[in-house]
Amino acid sequence: MALLPILEFPDPRLRTKAATVEAAQVTTPEFQKLLDDMFETMYDAPGIGLTASQVDQHLRFMVIDVSEGKDAPMVFINPEITARDGDQGLQEGCLSVPGIFADVTRSNRITVRYLDRDAREQELTTDSLLAVCIQHEMDHLEGKLFVDYLSPLKREMVRKKLSKQRKHAA
């Protein structure tokens, strides 16, 4: 397995709209290896979700693990939200916007249809952190970031803070 470089805001590649994954592609060794590499990259970061878009592969899927023990990996391929209910606000962060956290309002309960890593159709109804995480990751597939929910002024502050962080790290 290998760690993949994660694109960081304001990299324009993060704005790419991801393409649908062909079901036949899912079970290929190349795709399975990409999933494994994405899990390794996400756990190493550490984070609870990572989309293909963030590692510069513009396909509609993501890996998620919101468990305490980091032992419940989930793969969502071509996810579609078919029902939503209520609102919740949670403080979110993002591996592509390191060190920045902000409250975002999202649906509290969602039903999502997707393919799992064996290309089987699944449907899941969930709430709380997992529901927030799925919605956050699905935004990435549309080229949208959680900082887009902030005011333009706040987003500009985020951009400056990250560019300062990068200078210090260089």
Residue list 81-120, contact with Zn ion (CB under 5 A)? 94
Which one is catalytic: 30, 121, 123, 137? Answer: 137
For residues 60 and 102, the answer to whether their CB atoms sit within 8 Å is no
Binding mask 32-71 for Zn ion (x = CB under 5 A): ----------------------------------------
Nearest residue to Zn ion by CB is 94
**In sequence order, which residues have a C-beta less than 8 Å from that of residue 90 and are 6 or more positions away?**
103, 104, 106, 129, 132
Examine the residue annotation and report whether 80 is marked as an active-site residue of this protein: no
Closer of 18 and 94 to Zn ion (Cβ): 94
CB-nearer residue toward Zn ion: 42 or 115: 42
Q: What is the torsional sign of CA 161, 104, 138, 119?
A: positive
- For CA atoms 106, 154, 146, 162, give the dihedral sign: negative
Catalytic residues: 137
Q: Which residues bind Zn ion (CB under 5 A)?
A: 94
